[in-house]
Amino acid sequence: MRVKLEDVCERGTSSLMQKDIVDKNGKYPVYGASGRIGSMETYQQEHQTVAVVKDGAGIGRTMLLPEKSSIIGTMQYLIPKNCIEPEYLYYAVKYMHLEKYFSGATIPHIYFRDYKTEEFNLHNKTEQQEIISTLKRVEAVISNRREQLAMLDELVKARFVEVFGDMLLNSLEWPEKSLESLADIVSGITKGRKTTETELIEVPYMAVSNVKSGYIDWTTVKTILATKQEIEQYRLMPDDILMTEGGDPDKVGRGAIIKNPLKDSIHQNHIFRVRLDKSELLPAYFAEYLQHQKAKRYFLGCAKQTTGIASINMRQLRALPVLIPPLPLQNQFAAFVAEVDKSKADVQKALDQTQLLFDSLMQQYFG
């Protein structure tokens, strides 16, 4: 049976603010956009319910909340009626991807009035329980795969410290050089620039959103029109390191190896391309070095910070102090990383297949 969302739930709101729970330590949980943010001695909802982030960061995110819990005002309740199980409502709303309804230029919002007519399949209570059970089992496998990937990342970090010692203290007394003496560093192409060239070529370009801490996110790769000269100047090569000039203070200077760049791909001006002199510094070592405290503290110490965003410039990046262990040790670590990457590729493939199954089941049950 097809139903509208407003037919199976009621909207509820909260006036609770995050400052209202500071230093409170009760037995009932309070939730915000990032998950549980504290606890209080009182609660807003007696029964299990569904909450949606309606304002700001994480907009559209859906959570299944436990009995006797509360939310802050950046979220809203979807309170299930008797015809629908709370967990079934949670999966149905998750399937809708409510973030598509956001409005507002400065602080995004979504409103119940905009998505209350979303339709989905409502099964009887027995079938709902079976569907919930199936989806929870598949989600458990997805969670397990993600934990495996995280453990493999931690394995690399542990191996790095084991081989090279404490980077911050330089406990093994490795020599130090500035990055500019070890690499060719360039900024990228500026979007919206003016050019007199008439022969432009559409090529892929890497944006800030593609560069994460330790990996390249290939989810969405945009294109840009560029001249032949620009393509030659900015073309990415295998084993280039891409680094962002700005972002959250704890992530400033994040970087990753681009191992297999797309044909003729280039990078935007908010990204630095670091091409290492491999006779002194290997990409696998340097990419991991960026994630440890010596590099992180350097960037945080010299970054310009405004309204919660930190940024570094070319001069500061070139001056980054880099510890240089012997090349044989770097090669040893790079070989270890390559083996771990093989395992990660197998786990990632299994994760992708399981995610595909989950998405297919969601379409089958609710679409």
DSSP-assigned letter for residue 105:
S
What is the pLDDT, as a whole number, of residue 263?
94
Residue span(s) of the chain under CATH 3.90.220.20 come to 2-122, 175-324
145, 26 Cβ separation under 8 angstroms: no
- Give 128-149 pLDDT, tens digit per residue: 999 999 999 999 999 999 999 9
225, 204 Cβ separation under 8 angstroms: no
344, 296 Cβ separation under 8 angstroms: no
- Between CA 94 and CA 361 the distance in angstroms is 13
Task: Give the residue ranges of DSSP H helices in the chain.
Answer: 5-8, 86-96, 112-115, 125-164, 228-234, 283-289, 293-302, 314-318, 327-366
Q: In terms of C-beta distances under 8 Å and separation of at least 24 residues, what long-range contacts does 299-302 make, across chains too? A: 299/252, 299/253, 300/249, 300/250, 300/252
Region of poorest pLDDT, from 67-71, 113-117, 247-251:
247-251
Write down the residue that tokens 């400065």 correspond to. 106
Closest CA to 65 of 56, 77, 57: 77
**How crowded is residue 178: how many other Cβ atoms within 10 Å of its Cβ?**
13
What is the pLDDT, as a whole number, of residue 104?
66
Sign of CA dihedral 246, 247, 250, 255: negative
C-alpha R_g of the chain = 25
Which is it for strands 309-311 and 222-226: parallel, antiparallel or unpaired? unpaired
149, 347 Cβ separation under 8 angstroms: yes
Higher pLDDT, residue 247 or 213: 213
240, 211 Cβ separation under 8 angstroms: no
Tokens of 221: 């790769």
What is the pLDDT, as a whole number, of residue 106?
67
Element (H, E) at 39: strand 35-40
Mean pLDDT of 320-328: 97
- Between CA 139 and CA 143 the distance in angstroms is 6
What is the average pLDDT score of the chain? 92
What is the pLDDT, as a whole number, of residue 254?
87
Confidence class of residue 99 from pLDDT cuts 50, 70 and 90?
confident
Tokens of 175: 């020599």
What is the pLDDT, as a whole number, of residue 307?
65
- Between CA 323 and CA 81 the distance in angstroms is 61
pTM score of the predicted model: 0.82
**How crowded is residue 5: how many other Cβ atoms within 10 Å of its Cβ?**
20
Confidence class of residue 193 from pLDDT cuts 50, 70 and 90?
confident
What is the pLDDT, as a whole number, of residue 125?
95
Q: List the beta bridge partners of residue 225.
A: 202
Reduce the secondary structure of 45-67 to three states and give it as a string: ECCCEEEEECECCCCCCEEEECC
39, 25 Cβ separation under 8 angstroms: yes
CA-to-CA separations, 101 to 7, 52, 54, 61, 115, in angstroms, rounded = 19, 12, 10, 12, 7
Mean pLDDT of 212-226: 91
Mean pLDDT of 259-278: 95
Q: Which CATH architecture has domain 2-122?
A: Alpha-Beta Complex (3.90)
Region of poorest pLDDT, from 17-26, 244-253, 343-352:
244-253
108, 59 Cβ separation under 8 angstroms: yes
CATH number for the domain running over 124-155+326-367: 1.10.287
Closest CA to 281 of 323, 314, 340: 323
- Tell me if residue 68 falls in helix, strand or coil: coil
What is the pLDDT, as a whole number, of residue 108?
78
Confidence class of residue 308 from pLDDT cuts 50, 70 and 90?
low
Q: Which CATH architecture has domain 175-324?
A: Alpha-Beta Complex (3.90)
